[in-house]
Amino acid sequence: MKIYNKYIAGIALLLVLTGCRAPMATVIKDEVKENLPQNFNQEEQQDINANSGTTPWRQFFTDPNLVSLIETALKNNQELLITLQEIEIAKSGVLAKKGRLTPTVSAGIGAGLKKAGRYTSEGAGDATTEIEPGKEMPDPLGNFEGGLMANWEIDIWKKLRTEKEAAVAHYLSTVEGKNFVLSNLIEEVADNYYELLALDNQLEIIQQYIKLQEKALEISKIQKEAAAATELAVKKFEAELAKSKAAEYTIRQNITEKENQINALLGRYPQPIVRTKESFMSTMPQTVYTGIPSQLLANRPDIKQAELELKASKLDVQAARKEFYPSLEISATLGLEAFKPSYLVKMPESIAYNLAGELAGPLINKSAIKANFQTADAKQIQSLYEYDKTILNAYLDVANLMSKVKNIDQYYQMKSQETKALDQSIDIANQLFRNSRADYLEVLLNQRDALDAKMELIEAKQKQLSTVVDIYKSLGGGWK
């Protein structure tokens, strides 16, 4: 018995020593996060406590029509609904890992029939065995059983706890992924809404331009009859009018497509988008406060998602490394067993139980475990690169958009001045044309330049509003 115990102890020691030779994980260092700049290279430093990314979207957007569209999108958008199911899947993964920490208990019943050969040790033994005095063992021999069975892997190396922690980190990353989808969805709805308002205003401008050209055409015809103009002037004005009417239909089609694009984001079939176009050009963009770059780590859900995935990958490496260690499993059964159903109620004779403990670990041919470890280690490094890329892109997004905010404001101011000057030149050119003191080409060129300037001014207003929305999202706003 002592020799047997020595063998058991020797095998256990061999398993432990084998586990101690498990490979080490790659040590990774996050230099991108450590070297994050202190500011966004802005000339005017802002209050670090003021950060628009923490403003709830209902406070950031003041247009009631836009707020209503966003609310509908948050209820019906298919991409968001798909993401919510990914959260449920991740939550189930946590429950599965948590369940492995506790014993599994099952109940079962069974029946069987066995006939051993007469000239075998089992058959010969059964033939000479009496169950009761004068009553031989039945042949064939039945077997009826029922009871409880339990299995439990003792988490001696905390491998199962590590796997559960990895599953929790992955679950939390899916929650942050949902927040990122929310932020993107709100940005996309707002951007498309402003683009739709810009198209409405462009349609109104082209219609005003058409009326202006129709008047110019009438004047050219009158002047032709009075021999003050030629047929060429009439045809040029007719061509310009036809071109403008064609542009009107193009804008109408763009409006239809933009409305349907918004309806798709809202998860519904095509229908009119409620909006007020009259106040578009007078809408003032929100003032945006960026805070400091380190606040991006706490505000942007995509950064937090990447950080949690990095944490989960590190835990996966730890769990994969612990696969090299021996595992301890305890199994037990307790029930009733007899070769005849009527004997099952005879106790304690029919009571059967079993209790066993097993310590086992890999010794030879550990290639599969090594491959799993190497895969987990590579994914850990990959997750670090993804995390660093997300931080870098987030910083560049904010820096670029802050520069764009300044430049687009200046661009809008210059376009406003250009539009006013060209409006005045149109009036002057038309007056000179009526008095036969200006050529029709001067009138056409002034009208075209004015139209182009007004169209570009509307686009500048749309970019001005959309850029503010984009930087709000880049700062981590929109999901709260």
**DSSP code string of 142-172:** EEEEEEEEEEEEE-TTSHHHHHHHHHHHHHH
First to last CA, the chain: 68
332 exposure class (CB count in 10 Å sphere: 0-12, 13-18, 19+): middle
One-character DSSP codes across 96-111 = HHHHTTS-EEEEEEEE
Query: For 47, which DSSP code?
Result: P
- pLDDT confidence of residue 45: 55
Q: What is the pLDDT, as a whole number, of residue 47?
A: 64
Average pLDDT for 458-471: 96
**Cis peptide leading into 140, omega within 30 of 0?**
yes
Confidence band of 4 (pLDDT split at 50, 70, 90): very low
Q: Would you place residue 226 in the very low, low, confident or very high pLDDT band (cuts 50, 70, 90)?
A: confident
pLDDT digits (tens, 9 = 90+) for 174-209: 999 999 999 999 999 999 999 999 999 999 999 999
User: Residue 139 and residue 120: Cα distance in Å, rounded?
Assistant: 14
Q: Which amino acid is at 203?
A: L
Name the pLDDT band for 436 (thresholds 50, 70, 90): low
Q: Which amino acid is at 148?
A: L
Q: What is the pLDDT of residue 43?
A: 55
Element (H, E) at 266: none
What is the per-residue pLDDT across 351-395, written as a single tens digit (0 to 9) for each?
999 999 888 878 777 888 999 999 999 999 999 999 999 999 999
**Cα–Cα separations (whole angstroms), residue 289 to 50, 92, 202, 471, 475:** 6, 40, 31, 10, 9
Region 455-472: what's the mean pLDDT?
96
Q: Which two tokens stand for residue 122?
A: 């089992």
Outline where 28-99 has alpha helix (H). 31-34, 57-60, 64-76, 78-99
pLDDT tens for each residue of 241-292: 999 999 999 999 999 999 999 999 999 999 999 999 999 999 999 888 988 9
**Whole-prediction pTM value?**
0.85
Break the chain down into helix, strand, coil percent, rounded to 5.
65, 10, 25
**The residue to which tokens 């079962």 are assigned:** 108
- Residue 119's SS3 state is coil
Range from 108-117, 127-136, 237-246, 357-366 carrying the lowest mean pLDDT: 127-136
Q: Which residues contact 179 (CB under 8 A, 6 or more apart)?
A: 301, 304, 305, 479
User: Beta partners for 360?
Assistant: 327
**DSSP string of 455-475, one letter each residue:** HHHHHHHHHHHHHHHHHHHHT
Residues 367-398, buried b or exposed e (16+ Cβ, 10 A)? eebbebbeebbebbeebbebbbebbeebbebb
Quick check: helix, strand or coil at residue 353? strand
